[in-house]
Amino acid sequence: MIEKFTTGQNSQGEWAWLLALYLYLGSLGGCLFLLFRIFRLPLWFAVVSIGLVLLGAVTLLLKLGSPQRAWRAMSRPTTSWISRGVLFVAGFIIFGCLSIAPSIAALSWLPWNDGTALGNVLGWVAGFFALLTTLYPGFVVSNSRAIPFWNSPLLPLLFFTYAALAAAGAVLLGAPTAPSSLAQVAPLAEGLIVVNAALSAVYLLAMSRAGGSASESVHRLNRAPLGAAYWIGVILVGLIVPLAMLAWLKSAAALAGACIQIGALLFRYCVLKAGVYYVPAALTPAKVDFSTLTRTSADFAREYAGMTANRATGRR
Amino acid sequence: MSESTAPTTNGSVKWGVAVDLKRCTGCQGCTIACKLENGTPPGVFWTRVIEKEEGTFPLAYKVFMPIRCNHCGDAPCIPVCPSGASYRRDKDNLVLIDQDKCIGCGTCVVACPYDVRFMPESARGYYGETRIPFEEVSYQKWQKGTVQKCTLCVHRIDRGLEPACVETCPTKALVFGDLNDSGSEIVKLIRERPHFQPSVELGTDPCVYYLT
């Protein structure tokens, strides 16, 4: 509690594991559905993607202080990214379910499928909402002016590429049951690992050069306790190990997919935990001359005389 | 009650606080007055005096800076709120939270650059599960699982009184008044004294002015 009473660079403590899990699951589910559409993957990938987004929504409910009022979260779509996200997720779940429903034997009587115009429209609308579901988590975080480390246009891009990598990793994870998908997605996963590594480096370099709270966040990512999670979990397990497996040990693709999931989840967690509040320039000695607050004995005597005179005349 | 998410408009009352840093002694009187007036839970301080060490021995001294919600003219906490719980009261531009609407997502907590929004996770009192009679009464003013912050003692303002922190300050370092009234004491002080607004560079238009 003492840090609340001293000036300094304070970490945000509001968003941690549960929100990281929500951001991870939501964007993973959305992007997995996109891969399902693009690569014509087996149907169960679509079912899993919708399930992941639903699980993400449940995680958000667990994070809320008053989950019984969760329905109010869609009240301000014009200004709030959380509101927009709730609508995107709702749209994705509704249209995603509708688009794949006829593929399920019990619902094969429905009058649309992939071959019909209505089925195609539903599929593309579901894909559109899946894209929005993948994109919005980055904006939820980067919208905060109070935390310079997050408040960067690079962050939504990085969240998107990490979502794409996690979705590709999920396909690799399911590759043993769908071998044909491995050949399609493995090169994509390798490319995304390289892209994510490069983007992460650019992002961290930009933030460390930004100075103030942003560079303090980068500093915290590089030291204990967050440093271990970032360098071992995100970089080593999440990027280097799966890249090596995909390059030299194709038979371990599923394991590479699992490693990617660990890295993708820890990436969100590390970014959230490294968030440091903006330090007011007024509290930076270089910006404001606090020496004006020091007074000589003569100043005190003059002020005391003035206060006494004011008290006598009833003024402050 | 009229409410909006739009930035401050002129023509209405705009309550603000001027903090005379030359007068503040860091006694935390405002911190305690706020606790007593608003019955905030353990660890939550709607207003508090932060301190900073300046200089080097033997010419070292402490600077005290009382902080609270700045009731910003362009408050970043309002547009990010997904439920509409954070709003601006049109008649006097106070930034308030509707406790019945807040879902406790914490978005406003990370959006506020001043670290002055709080979400207590429990309704425990200072002495554990069993609350003292004062806590039984005062804890009815807020809800567990929702965000809370300084209201500038809106209940006192509506009765024509000053906020508790302002009234209790022994050195009269806090001056409360209408920033839209050119004849008010706060406007005169801001006009006459060198001052700064906290993190004004973020475009928040805070209504708290620090006189240096």
Per-residue pLDDT tens digits for A182-232: 788 899 999 999 999 999 999 999 999 988 889 999 999 999 889 999 999
d(CA A247, CA A187): 9
Every domain of chain A and the residues it spans? 11-279
Q: Which of A69, A89, A292 to mutate to test the interface with B (most CBs of B within 10 A)?
A: A69
pTM: 0.85
Question: What is the average per-residue pLDDT within B20-47?
Answer: 92
Domain assignment of residue B172, given as a range: 3-211
Nearest to A66 among B104, B114, B199 (CB): B104
Is the Cβ pair A280, B199 closer than 8 Å?
Answer: yes
Chain A: residue whose CA lies nearest to B6: A79
pLDDT digits over B121-156, tens only? 778 888 887 888 888 888 888 888 899 999 999 999
pLDDT above 90 as % of chain A? 63
Distance between B102 CA and the closest CA of chain A, angstroms: 7
Q: Are A293 and B21 inside 8 Å of each other by CB?
A: yes
Cα–Cα distance measured from residue A243 to residue A255, given in angstroms and rounded to the nearest whole number: 11
User: Which contacts of B4-8 are long-range, i.e. CB under 8 A and separated by 24 or more positions?
Assistant: B4/B87, B4/B88, B4/B90, B5/A76, B5/A79, B5/B78, B5/B79, B5/B84, B5/B87, B5/B88, B6/B88, B7/B73, B7/B74, B7/B205, B8/B73, B8/B74, B8/B88, B8/B93, B8/B205
Question: Looking at beta carbons, which residues of chain B come within 8 Å of A280?
Answer: 113-114, 198-199
- Cα B146 vs. chain centroid, distance in angstroms? 17
pLDDT of residue B123: 80
Cα separation, B131 vs A63, whole angstroms: 26
Return residues 225-264 of A near B (CB < 8 Å). Answer: none
Please report which confidence band the pLDDT of residue A295 belongs to, taking 50, 70 and 90 as the band edges: low
A11-279 has which fold? Formate dehydrogenase/DMSO reductase fold (1.20.1630)
Q: Which residues pair with B196 in a beta bridge?
A: B210
Band of the pLDDT at A55, cuts 50, 70, 90? very high
What does the pLDDT read at residue A34? 95
Taking an 8 Å cut-off on Cβ atoms, the answer to whether B107 and A73 are in contact is no
Q: Is A63 near chain B, with CB under 8 Å?
A: yes
Q: Looking at residues A145-149, what average pLDDT do you find?
A: 91
pLDDT of A310 over the 90 cut: no
What value does the mean pLDDT take over residues A241-255?
Answer: 90
Q: Which residue of A12, A68, A76 to mutate against B (max B Cβ within 10 Å)? A: A76
Using a CB-CB cut-off of 8 Å, the residues of chain A touching B59 are 294
* Chain B residue with minimum CA distance to A12: B110
Please judge whether A288 and B198 are an interchain contact, meaning their C-beta atoms are less than 8 angstroms apart.
no
Which residue from B84, B102, B172 is facing A66, i.e. has the nearest CB? B102
Half-sphere exposure of residue A200, counting CA atoms within 13 Å on the CB side?
A: 23
Question: What does the pLDDT look like over A257-284, one tens digit per residue?
Answer: 999 999 999 999 999 999 999 886 555 5
Q: Is the pLDDT assigned to residue A233 strictly greater than 60?
A: yes
Q: How many domains does chain B have?
A: 1
DSSP reduced 3-state for A30: helix
Residue A3's pLDDT is: 58
pLDDT of residue A296: 61
Burial B172-197 (b: 16+ CB within 10 A, else e): ebbbbbbbbeeebebbebbeeeebbb
Contact present, B114 and A282 (Cβ < 8 Å): no
Q: How confident is the model at residue A311 (pLDDT cuts 50, 70, 90)?
A: low
Q: State the pLDDT at residue A308.
A: 66
For B74-107, the pLDDT digits (tens) are 999 999 999 999 999 988 889 999 999 999 999 9
Q: Can you give the CATH number for the domain in which B101 is found?
A: 3.30.70.20
Q: Which of B3, B54, B110 should we substitute to test contact with A (largest number of A Cβ atoms within 10 Å)?
A: B110
pLDDT(A285) > 70? no
